[in-house]
Structure 1
Amino acid sequence: MPFSVHMRRAFLTIGVSLLALGAGARAEEASTTDAAEPYRLVRSLQNIQDQVISGDITALDMQRFLLGEIDRRLREASASVFDDTRNVDAALIYAMSGGNPSTLDLLAQRDVSGNFDNRVTSILRRYLNGRGAGAVKQLKEVVPEYRFTTIGPYLQLIGANAMMETDKETALKYFDWARLEAPGTIIEEAALRRALMMTSRSGDTAAALPYARRYARRYMNSPYASQFADVFVALAIDHPKALPPEEIEAALSLVERRRQREIYLRLARRAAINGDKPLTDFATARAKALSEPDETSPLALAKLYSGLVDIPSDGIEDVLTRLGGIADQDLSPKDRFLRDAAQIVAEEVMAPPDADSLAQANRDMSDKEYRDRMSELALDAETTGSTDPQPAPDLQQPTGSETAPRGQALDARMDQAENLVASGRARLKDIDALLAKEGE
């Protein structure tokens, strides 16, 4: 009897162990299958993208990997996978997050069970193929319906993008919905940046400034912050009353020092070329204050922009000395070009007039010689090499009146100098616009 009891116990123990092993194997298999679900991978993609706009550039490699992996899993998934609405949403979010548009086409074609909303897939297929304007009517029906759902903020962002040019009021409403329903995410970052772009272009400074402050406070580490900087600088240049120096400083006060300096240098460049001395002086002073003594390149740029704007006001010889003292290695090719152009303008102001130079025909010849010199400098800037560390300002092309020869001779040396400086400043604008086109 004792033997049989021990035997029964032994067999019972073995049976329990085998059951446990079987259960563990099934659990592991289930866990592996669950982990492969598209919605889990898309959640990881969302987390990675939020890390990217927080400044973690190393996450870009993982983002590329996940996009490829999600694409493969969606293409290989059986139809039953999309009986789970989380996987349907995941496929749509993947498509709206930089995924392969053809994968959404494939899934829509395979969907015989009606798991995908045909209206949504139709909108996305149009939008992702560059035909978003044709989906505006459907977007206005679908976006409110899907508000407060998983894909809601993505649809709102797409809808706003599609309507930016045709229905600004609705676009702005959708941008606001998107950022409020997805705080701290790549959706909010994009919504703030694009809403700022739209309102600043339309001159709606009352709406643009709050967007600018929010973006500056939250997303200056984003790889897309350079676009914000360009829009912010244009806002300051085009609307000086709405964005005076004290407001600029307040908006940028929470931005990291290096980023602040970059924006102030961009602002100084634009202001100098526009001939706005007070704004140039303010921006260059802030850039200098945000630079350490051994940071030669930012200090050189501040010196350059200050010199550009001082040509008509300071002693020309002093300006030439300051410009000539800026080392080539501290400037990008485009900024070397601007320095050389400014030196030519200053040298023309200092050149003694002669009787021939006051004649219209010779003025035309002088303008031609100037343009030839500028062409040589432009060729040198183009072939010298590297990209400008700050994107070229988006200046408008000058009008014909800015470049047309003067209609009459100058009757005094002072008049000649003033007109030459004004012409030179217009030429600097022309040069900078040309460089901006070359950099695109």
Structure 2
Amino acid sequence: MNWRANAAAALLSACLPLAAQAEDDIAPYKMVRSLQIVQDQIANGDHASLPMQQKLLELTDARFRSAGKKEFEDPRNLSALLVWAMSGGNPTTVEVALSRLELEGEDAVVGRGVLAYMRGQLPRAAAILDAVDPMARRDDTGAFIALVKGSIIGGKSPAPALKLMDQARLLAPGTLVEEAALRRSLPLVLTMRQPDRFLRLSEQYTRRFLRSPYASEFADAFVEGLVAFHDDIDEAEIDTIVSLMSPPQQEAIYLRLARRSTIKGQIARSAFASEKARSIMQDTEQGADPRAMLYEAIASITSENIEEVLARLKDVDPGQLSPRDRRLLLAARAIAAEVLAPPGSDQPPPEGGDETEDAATVAAPPPNASAPAETSAAAAPAERAAPAGPAVPAGLAEMAAEAAGEAADQAESNALMTSVRTKLDEVDRLLSGGKQP
């Protein structure tokens, strides 16, 4: 793929002096093609191209703003405008450029649909683009249209959306479009309850795009799917896919899986993931991760070993945990202490159980956590947020985010305590009634 990077660099070097001289000699489609090459390189792990992408976005925006009607008589420039729009281009620039044109036929339909999509009018965009067949398009817009349509209807119509994602992958193999389509297919097969297809898509993504700056979003969907398909996916199948990752990525995946499994009360899966994480740390000569200690201790709780588990929980240093995991630790200690408390006694809250944790303490990052958020203007294709409303003062936004985080923490702590109590109750019933054959 080096030739593609060299081509992008050559095009960029040609664009820079022209931009400085305010000249418009480079055709818009050449600039968009250069941008696509850079974005595909980024999808394949070339994060050093991110600054180049940003510069190309700026140049391309300026070029489309200055483009006249005559230039769009070349169909390649019109296709480039639509592709750029669906790749995260500037909505205002796209609207200005389209207003100068008198589009006809399906191009006019696609133009209206893309504008509605960029404005955040998703139902309207879906209705306009409904009759457009991406596979029948004779230019680069087909793959992007498939991706956009699939992204819009995924929540209500997962099966048709998944077909559109397959079309996007078929039309643009090895590109950022394929990366985004693969990643967005995971929630769809999760909704459709297709564990086998979930595993195939996960393995394809892991083999091809794990170095993408958006791989952390894949990691979220992957772990969520493993929890949702708990009864359908065994540990060997998990290990097969995770073994394709680097040791730090494996550790992050297993720790996240251990945490989610713990919250969901999937004790055996939590123990498996915690042990795998610990094993990876030992192989890489790292010290014991307090998160693995926490999840493994919670997963092993029974009414017979509660004192031992409480002792292990007391050995976990809360200062080395994120605020969310610290709350889980406090909840686990509280439930263990409650079980051991004499009947009728009131246990005081565990030490450190107040709300004054250091908010600067953060969990270890997931794979590729340094990647930019995909909702920026330079994001993966069709990953645009709806146009922003009135600006919210920074302080209020931070307070709202913190309050949402507190609510999520409390919900997870409650879920953990409920799952542990349920498990202990079941063990006690077995002990009192005799084990069933």
Q: TM-score, normalised by structure 2?
A: 0.74
The equivalent of 1:70 in structure 2 is 60
Q: Aligned equivalents of 1:112 and 1:48: distance in 2? A: 31
Q: Is the Cα contact below 8 Å between 1:236 and 1:244 reproduced in 2?
A: no
The equivalent of 1:21 in structure 2 is none
Indicate whether 1:129 and 2:119 are aligned. Answer: yes
The equivalent of 2:247 in structure 1 is 257
**Residues 78/402 of structure 1: CA separation in 2 closer, same or farther (3 Å cut):** closer
Given candidates 140, 149, 154, the residue that maps to 1:159 is 149
**Over alpha carbons, which structure has the higher Rg?**
1
Indicate whether 1:276 and 2:252 are aligned. Answer: no
Given candidates 335, 353, 360, the residue that maps to 1:385 is 360
Q: Which runs of 5+ in 1 are unaligned?
A: 1-27, 358-365, 405-414, 423-440
Deviations 1:355-395 (A, max 9, x none): xx5xxxxxxxx69x76xx79x846223x5324433589989
Deviations 1:257-316 (A, max 9, x none): 2112111111111112233222112111211222246433x6221111101122325622
Q: CA deviation at 1:144?
A: 3.9
Q: Aligned equivalents of 1:394 and 1:183: distance in 2? A: 38
Q: Aligned equivalents of 1:401 and 1:305: distance in 2? A: 14
The equivalent of 2:375 in structure 1 is none
Q: Aligned equivalents of 2:424 and 2:106: distance in 1? A: 69
Q: TM-score, normalised by structure 1?
A: 0.74
Indicate whether 1:203 and 2:193 are aligned. Answer: yes
Q: CA deviation at 1:191?
A: 0.6
The equivalent of 1:57 in structure 2 is 47
The SS at the match of 1:141 is: coil
Q: Aligned equivalents of 2:100 and 2:361: distance in 1? A: 49
Q: CA deviation at 1:183?
A: 1.1
The equivalent of 2:257 in structure 1 is 267
Q: CA deviation at 1:127?
A: 0.9
AA at the equivalent of 1:64:
Q
Q: Is the Cα contact below 8 Å between 1:199 and 1:208 reproduced in 2?
A: yes
The SS at the match of 1:248 is: helix
| Structure with more of its chain in helix, by fraction | 1
Highest RCO, 1 vs 2 (Cα 8 Å, sep ≥ 6): 2
**Residues 166/350 of structure 1: CA separation in 2 closer, same or farther (3 Å cut):** closer
AA at the equivalent of 1:304:
L
The SS at the match of 2:273 is: helix
Aligned runs of 1:2-13 on 2, under 5 Å? none
Q: CA deviation at 1:148?
A: 4.9
Indicate whether 1:39 and 2:29 are aligned. Answer: yes
Aligned runs of 1:172-321 on 2, under 5 Å? 172-292=162-282, 294-296=285-287, 299-312=289-302, 315-321=305-311
AA at the equivalent of 1:322:
R
Q: CA deviation at 1:81?
A: 1.9
Q: Which moved more, 1:99-108 or 1:196-205?
A: 196-205
Q: Aligned equivalents of 1:59 and 1:218: distance in 2? A: 18
Q: Aligned equivalents of 1:305 and 1:231: distance in 2? A: 20
Q: Is the Cα contact below 8 Å between 1:301 and 1:331 reproduced in 2?
A: yes
Given candidates 332, 336, 356, the residue that maps to 2:326 is 336
Q: Is the Cα contact below 8 Å between 2:271 and 2:300 reproduced in 1?
A: no
Given candidates 317, 335, 338, the residue that maps to 1:348 is 338
Q: Is the Cα contact below 8 Å between 1:268 and 1:283 reproduced in 2?
A: yes
Q: Is the Cα contact below 8 Å between 1:123 and 1:132 reproduced in 2?
A: no
AA at the equivalent of 1:206:
D
Q: Aligned equivalents of 2:409 and 2:192: distance in 1? A: 17
The equivalent of 1:48 in structure 2 is 38
Q: Is the Cα contact below 8 Å between 2:262 and 2:298 reproduced in 1?
A: yes
Q: CA deviation at 1:187?
A: 0.5
Q: Which moved more, 1:241-250 or 1:114-123?
A: 114-123
Q: Which moved more, 1:34-43 or 1:170-179?
A: 34-43
Matched residue pairs, number?
366
AA at the equivalent of 2:221:
V
Q: Aligned equivalents of 1:95 and 1:378: distance in 2? A: 49
**Residues 64/115 of structure 1: CA separation in 2 closer, same or farther (3 Å cut):** farther
Superposed CA RMSD in Å reads 3.5
Q: Aligned equivalents of 2:64 and 2:106: distance in 1? A: 14
Q: Is the Cα contact below 8 Å between 2:42 and 2:212 reproduced in 1?
A: yes
Q: Aligned equivalents of 1:45 and 1:416: distance in 2? A: 55
**Residues 323/142 of structure 1: CA separation in 2 closer, same or farther (3 Å cut):** same
The equivalent of 1:103 in structure 2 is 93
Q: Which moved more, 1:302-311 or 1:136-145?
A: 136-145
Q: Which moved more, 1:163-172 or 1:385-394?
A: 385-394
AA at the equivalent of 1:281:
A
Q: Which moved more, 1:333-342 or 1:170-179?
A: 333-342
The SS at the match of 2:47 is: coil
The SS at the match of 1:311 is: coil
Q: Is the Cα contact below 8 Å between 2:318 and 2:329 reproduced in 1?
A: no
Q: Aligned equivalents of 2:79 and 2:172: distance in 1? A: 16
Q: CA deviation at 1:211?
A: 1.3
Identity of aligned residues (%): 35
